[in-house]
């Protein structure tokens, strides 16, 4: 289902590219996101006719205006509301309009996620509007967008170095705080050693399925913290930063699956007052 949607999105993207003309690729000024010819077909496929409200009071998207390395562009989506059982952000969709696979990341949260924030690194094929659509627990959609100048990240070569097979799937947790405290949002980074092969990179052999991370699921003490469906829009050695709220001694667990059906797991038992890795 997921890949079928992707295929449709891809073909719409190709059509939009043709319609928009390649001259757009070189535009220097920041265009109006409301005028984008790319967005409408993507929106139709992802959300049908649902209304999308202005997201500035719900979730905002942060990223550098001019990306320095199109293969590694940090994107952050931050909630402007607290997660409460009554009302919380359940899903954040990150759309890089002009990427070959525009819906590169879908992130799911729960009331236990604490504060909703997701920071990751994307590849950019072209200058593009980036849209973060937050879906709240009452079923409403809110959108924020930013324009980014970066080009060539998806079809650019994979990797400065090969990920040696022995290191494939190696994971690390890194924390913002030095010591763990219960009951407060704790910012953690999950790092995954993985080439996250782009289907568009020059070395991609069409007879092979490119190997990239397609899903991840993070739990703490058995409860979901964050889960995501992602693709090769994410940079090599994927990195995700997000919050969770520990209330007691428990296991932080990350499960990752790639398109070659390889599964990787990382766990860490955490307890109040412990020194947290990250420095």
Partner 1 sequence: MKNPILTLSLACATLLHGAAFAQTTPALNVVEVAPGNFAHYAGFEERSPQNLGDNANVGFIVGERCVAVIDAGGSFAIGQRLRQAIRAKTDLPVCYVILTHVHPDHFFGATAFNADHPQYVGHANLPRALQQRGKFYVNTLNRDLGDLAQGSEVVMPTVLVKDQLELDLGNRKLQVRAWPVAHTDDDLTVFDQRTRTLWVSDLLFLQHTPVVDGSLVGFIAAIDQLKAMPADHYVAGHGRSALPWPQSLEPEQRYLQLILTETRQALKNRKTLEQAVDTVGQSEQGNWLNFDLFHRRNVTAAYTELEWED
Closest distance to partner 1 from the beta carbon of 125 (Å): 11
Strand partners, 234: 122
Closest distance to partner 1 from the beta carbon of 3 (Å): 25
Out of 141, 201, 254, 268, the residue judged to bind partner 1 by CB under 8 A: 201
The tokens 């090969």 sit on which residue? 162
Nearest to 127 by CA among 94, 100, 102, 97: 97
Give the x/- contact pattern for partner 1 in 69-108, rule: CB under 8 A. Answer: x--x-x-x--------------------------------
CA 160, 162, 167, 173: dihedral to nearest 10 degrees? 20
Do residues 272 and 180 touch, judged by C-beta distance below 8 A? yes
By DSSP bridging, strand 213-220 and strand 89-96 are unpaired
Q: Is residue 207 a contact point for partner 1 (CB under 8 A)?
A: no
Out of 49, 54, 68, 261, the residue judged to bind partner 1 by CB under 8 A: 68
Phi and psi at 269, nearest 5°, equal -90, 130
Q: Is residue 185 a contact point for partner 1 (CB under 8 A)?
A: no
Phi and psi at 61, nearest 5°, equal -115, 135
Distance from C-alpha of 225 to C-alpha of 112, rounded to nearest angstrom: 7
Q: Is residue 193 a contact point for partner 1 (CB under 8 A)?
A: yes
Q: Is residue 241 a contact point for partner 1 (CB under 8 A)?
A: yes
Q: Is residue 203 a contact point for partner 1 (CB under 8 A)?
A: yes
Longest dimension (CA), the chain: 58
Closest distance to partner 1 from the beta carbon of 108 (Å): 23
Residue 246 Cα to chain centre, angstroms:
23
Nearer to partner 1, 155 or 215 (CB): 155
Q: Is residue 149 a contact point for partner 1 (CB under 8 A)?
A: no
Using the rule CB under 8 A, give the single segment among 64-72, 91-99, 126-134, 267-275 that binds partner 1.
Answer: 64-72
Out of 28, 202, 208, 273, the residue judged to bind partner 1 by CB under 8 A: 202
Distance from C-alpha of 44 to C-alpha of 266, rounded to nearest angstrom: 37
Out of 4, 28, 160, 208, the residue judged to bind partner 1 by CB under 8 A: 160
Distance from C-alpha of 264 to C-alpha of 213, rounded to nearest angstrom: 10
Closest distance to partner 1 from the beta carbon of 279 (Å): 5
Binding residues for partner 1, rule CB under 8 A, total: 32
Distance from C-alpha of 129 to C-alpha of 43, rounded to nearest angstrom: 13
Distance from C-alpha of 166 to C-alpha of 130, rounded to nearest angstrom: 35
Closest distance to partner 1 from the beta carbon of 4 (Å): 28
Q: Is residue 123 a contact point for partner 1 (CB under 8 A)?
A: no
Strand partners, 133: 93, 143
Closest distance to partner 1 from the beta carbon of 128 (Å): 17
Residues of this chain that bind partner 1 (CB under 8 A): 64, 68-69, 72, 74, 76, 119, 121, 152, 155-161, 172, 174-176, 178, 191, 193, 201-203, 235, 237, 239, 241, 278-279
């Amino acid at each position: 289902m997921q890949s079928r949607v992707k295929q449709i999105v891809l073909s719409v993207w190709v059509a939009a590219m043709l319609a928009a003309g390649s001259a757009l690729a070189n535009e220097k000024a920041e265009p109006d996101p409301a005028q984008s010819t790319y967005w409408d077909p993507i929106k139709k496929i992802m959300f049908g006719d649902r209304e999308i409200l202005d997201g500035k009071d719900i979730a905002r998207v942060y990223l550098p205006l001019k990306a320095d390395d199109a293969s590694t562009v940090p994107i952050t989506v931050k909630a402007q509301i607290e997660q409460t059982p009554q009302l919380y952000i359940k899903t954040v969709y990150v759309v890089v309009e002009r990427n070959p696979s525009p819906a590169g990341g879908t992130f799911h949260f729960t009331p236990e996620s604490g504060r909703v924030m997701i920071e990751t690194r994307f590849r950019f094929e072209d200058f593009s509007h980036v849209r973060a659509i937050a879906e709240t627990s009452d079923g409403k959609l809110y959108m924020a967008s930013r324009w980014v100048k970066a080009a060539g990240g998806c079809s650019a070569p994979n990797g400065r170095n090969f990920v040696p097979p022995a290191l494939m799937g190696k994971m690390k947790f890194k924390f913002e705080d030095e010591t763990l405290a219960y009951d407060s949002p704790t910012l953690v980074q999950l790092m995954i050693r993985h080439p996250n092969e782009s289907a568009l990179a020059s070395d991609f052999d069409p007879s092979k399925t490119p190997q990239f991370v397609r899903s991840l699921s993070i739990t703490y003490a058995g409860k979901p913290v964050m889960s995501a469906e992602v693709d090769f829009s994410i940079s090599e050695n994927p990195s995700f930063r997000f919050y969770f709220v520990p209330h007691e001694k428990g296991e932080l667990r990350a499960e990752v699956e790639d398109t070659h059906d390889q599964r990787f797991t990382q766990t860490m038992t955490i307890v109040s007052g412990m020194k947290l890795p990250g420095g």
